[in-house]
Structure 1
Amino acid sequence: MQPHVQGCPTIVVDQAITRAAIEFCQKTGVWRYDHVPVAAVEATTAYSFAPPDGAKVERVLAAWLDGVPLTVKNATDLLGVDDWKTATGTPTHLVVLNDTQFRLYPLGAGSVDLTVTLKPSRAATTIDDAIFEAHVDAIADGAIGKLAALPGKPWSSADLVTYHTGEFDKAIDDATIREFQHAPMRTANPPL
């Protein structure tokens, strides 16, 4: 990357790489992770996600309670359900509260398994080797595009922004299509 952004401090380059990797993983879902099982306990209203160091959960793809599939919802999806915060029983839903926590609806006990997508955290110093190796050129294009867009810098360049941002966007589209092609097809929406 340095030949494209000569004079750019290494720390700024590193930050741009992290930002590009975060965006790439957010938009494509390529970094899949089988979350460690979570022991659910009666009346517990929130559980923390436990991604690997340097990562954050981006999306819950699927969840199971004792091997039985749970419907994954966001908290806003249940705003019209009067008892969603207090009901107890056999959980049927995993409710994503925010990017660090989830809960079960209704509240109940069992072993929760999750498949999620991850993204690097802002403080990450590394990314999963397989993800980086498979998408290093795309991430570099994204970082170069971000750096070249910084106004008034010796490495600023509208031409570099246009080219590298275009390559980054194409790589995101290609990776997203590949992920979609490998996803299981669903023929009917699950009931609420």
Structure 2
Amino acid sequence: MMKLWKDFYDLVMPDVPGCTFAAIDSALRQSAVVFCEQSLAWRIELSPISVVAGIAEYALTPPEDAVVHAITLAALNGEEIEAYKGETDISARNRYNRTSPQYISGGPGSIILAPKPTATGALTMIVALKPSPASAGIDDVQFNEYREAIVHGALLRLMLSPKKPYTNAQLAAYHQQQFAIKTAAAGVRVAKNYARTPLRTSIMARR
């Protein structure tokens, strides 16, 4: 289920009189994106991907109005593989490990296994999501848990708008501080909750 940006209005509009709905929607979307990127709080387990021998790249299928920001946990045939963020060149990555499968996120729409798999298998993943650039809202669980942080981020942006009835640099600084505090707290909370979360295919200890 999804909550639309208008579901935030009663928390935002009293502080920004005269602000348009379009501007509020944009500020909420931007705030939610940054919140999700920094906290990695919006996580789901994707349906298993059937891996084919000799095929390295596979499409990701996140929920509607969301994109994959990061892969936080993955297992191929029950054995954990590493989310490698610092290298996008497969040949370079293979120099470090030529036998154990690794994956590299090639973008929000696909992942690349390196080296190429030599057998069929099942790839299971827990991913961190964020709203898409055109999203109409956010998952209702995230709304219920983290709406205060998202509202602070939206008010920060709106109050920094020049020459508006609600322009207020001092209050913007307050909302910036609260957004940072609540985002960091959400990140710590989620990291603890997912520290020992098993995938549907149980993860074996890395060799």
Q: TM-score, normalised by structure 1?
A: 0.86
> Match of 2:78, as an amino acid?
G
CA-based RMSD of the aligned residues comes to 2.4
Structure 1 segments of 4+ aligned residues over 6 angstroms from their partners: none
Distance in 2 between the 1:155 and 1:122 partners? 25
Distance in 1 between the 2:162 and 2:65 partners? 30
CA shift for structure 1 position 153 = 2.0
Q: Is the aligned partner of 1:72 residue 2:83?
A: yes
Q: Is the aligned partner of 1:100 residue 2:87?
A: no
Contact 1:38 1:113 in 2 (8 A): yes
Match of 2:37 among 23, 26, 33: 26
CA shift for structure 1 position 44 = 2.1
- The 3 A distance-change label for structure 1 pair 25 and 37 is same
Contact 1:75 1:97 in 2 (8 A): no
1:111 corresponds to = 122
2:51 corresponds to = 40
Return 121-130 or 173-182, whichever deviates more.
173-182
SS at match of 1:81: helix
Distance in 1 between the 2:28 and 2:159 partners? 13
CA shift for structure 1 position 72 = 1.8
Q: Is the aligned partner of 1:142 residue 2:153?
A: yes
CA shift for structure 1 position 99 = 2.4
Q: Deviations over 1:96-145 (max 9, x none)?
A: 12222211122123111101111111111121111111111111111011
> Match of 2:125, as an amino acid?
L
Q: Deviations over 1:56-109 (max 9, x none)?
A: 11111111112121122136165673757xx7xx75211212222211122123
Q: Is the aligned partner of 1:57 residue 2:98?
A: no
Query: Once the two structures are aligned, what percentage of the paired residues are identical?
Result: 27
SS at match of 1:72: coil
Contact 2:43 2:126 in 1 (8 A): yes
CA shift for structure 1 position 179 = 2.2
SS at match of 2:80: strand
> Match of 2:109, as an amino acid?
T
> Match of 1:178, as an amino acid?
R
Distance in 2 between the 1:36 and 1:72 partners? 18
Distance in 2 between the 1:134 and 1:83 partners? 41
SS at match of 1:97: strand
SS at match of 2:195: coil
Unaligned runs of 5+ in 2: 1-11, 197-204
Distance in 1 between the 2:44 and 2:139 partners? 11
> Match of 2:28, as an amino acid?
I
Q: TM-score, normalised by structure 2?
A: 0.80
Unaligned runs of 5+ in 1: none
> Match of 2:114, as an amino acid?
Y
Q: How many residues align?
A: 184
